[in-house]
C-alpha cells in the first residue's frame, strides 16, 4: 500500500500541491486524470524518489520513503518502476541491453539475464528484437521496450507518465489493452497518468482528478 499524507511541493515560491493525500491499495490501477500543468509528473517523481517534497510524507507498506525535504529510501531501493513520457531509452544500447541493464547492474549472471530477456521479449511481442538498435524501432516498439525494461526487474509498483500520448489512436488502443493484460498477469500496482478520459476509464479501478500548476 502506498500512503501519501499531506504532501506539498513548491517551485519558485508557487505551490504545486498543498496537503495532497492519497491511499493506493496493493494491486489497484489508479489513473490520475490530469490536464497539462497539473503537477502529475512532479507527483510521480516524488513517489519514485527522484524529488523531495516540501511537506508531508510518502510511505510504502508502512515504510517511510520520503518526508519533509528528505528522501529517506533512494529510488533503487523502493521496488518501484517508472515508464517516462519520453521513454528514456539508451540510444547507444541495443534493445536487449536496454531491457537487461538493471539486471546487469544488480549483478545477475549473463546466462540468467539472457533467459529473463527471452521471456520478457515474448511477453511484450518483441521476439527477435534483442539485437536491434533503438532508433530502428517504431514508436510502439520503443514503448514495448520501455515496458519490458520496467517489468523485467519485477517491481511491486509501476508508475506511467502519459506513455501513449505520442502514439496514433489505433496503436494506443492496442497498447493500453496490453498494459491492462500485463498488470492483471503480474499483479503490480499501477499508477497511470493521462489526460485522455477514455483511456482513464478503460484502465482504472479508480480515477483521481489531479488539479494544480506544474513547473
What pLDDT score was predicted for residue 210?
77
pTM comes to 0.89
Cα 177 to Cα 198: distance, rounded to the nearest angstrom: 12
What pLDDT score was predicted for residue 114?
96
What pLDDT score was predicted for residue 212?
55
Residue 31 and residue 195 in contact, taking contact as beta carbons nearer than 8 Å: no
Mean pLDDT of 143-157: 92
Please tell me the least confidently modeled range out of 26-40, 85-99, 193-207: 26-40
Mean pLDDT of 178-207: 94
Q: What is the largest CA-CA distance in the chain?
A: 51
- How confident is residue 214, by pLDDT bands cut at 50, 70 and 90? very low
Closest-CA residue to 189 (of 150, 148, 141):
150
Residue spans of the domains in the chain: they are 90-153
For the chain, give the mean pLDDT. 90
Closest-CA residue to 62 (of 28, 26, 29):
26
Residue 96 and residue 130 in contact, taking contact as beta carbons nearer than 8 Å: yes
Mean pLDDT of 177-201: 93
Mean pLDDT of 147-171: 91
What pLDDT score was predicted for residue 215?
40
Mean pLDDT of 151-161: 93
Amino acid at each position: 500500500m502506498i500512503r501519501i499524507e499531506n504532501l506539498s511541493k513548491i517551485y519558485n515560491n508557487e505551490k504545486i500541491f498543498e496537503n495532497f493525500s492519497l491511499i493506493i491499495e496493493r494491486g489497484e490501477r489508479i489513473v490520475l486524470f490530469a490536464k497539462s500543468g497539473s503537477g502529475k509528473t512532479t507527483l510521480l517523481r516524488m513517489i519514485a524518489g527522484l524529488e523531495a517534497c516540501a511537506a508531508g510524507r510518502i510511505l510504502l507498506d508502512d515504510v517511510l520513503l520520503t518526508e519533509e525535504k528528505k528522501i529517506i529510501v533512494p529510488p533503487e531501493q523502493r521496488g518501484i518502476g517508472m515508464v517516462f513520457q519520453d521513454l528514456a531509452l539508451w540510444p547507444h544500447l541495443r534493445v536487449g541491453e536496454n531491457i537487461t541493464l538493471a539486471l546487469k547492474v544488480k549483478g545477475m549472471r549473463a546466462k540468467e539475464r539472457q533467459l529473463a530477456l527471452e521471456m520478457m521479449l515474448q511477453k511484450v511481442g518483441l521476439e527477435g528484437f534483442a539485437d536491434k538498435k533503438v532508433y530502428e524501432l517504431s514508436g510502439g516498439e520503443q514503448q514495448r521496450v520501455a515496458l519490458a525494461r520496467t517489468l523485467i526487474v519485477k517491481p511491486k509498483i509501476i508508475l506511467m507518465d502519459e506513455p501513449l500520448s505520442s502514439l496514433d489512436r489505433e496503436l494506443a488502443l492496442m497498447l493500453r489493452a496490453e498494459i491492462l493484460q500485463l498488470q492483471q498477469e503480474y499483479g503490480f500496482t499501477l499508477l497511470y497518468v493521462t489526460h485522455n478520459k477514455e483511456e482513464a476509464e478503460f484502465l482504472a479501478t479508480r480515477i483521481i482528478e489531479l488539479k494544480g500548476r506544474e513547473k
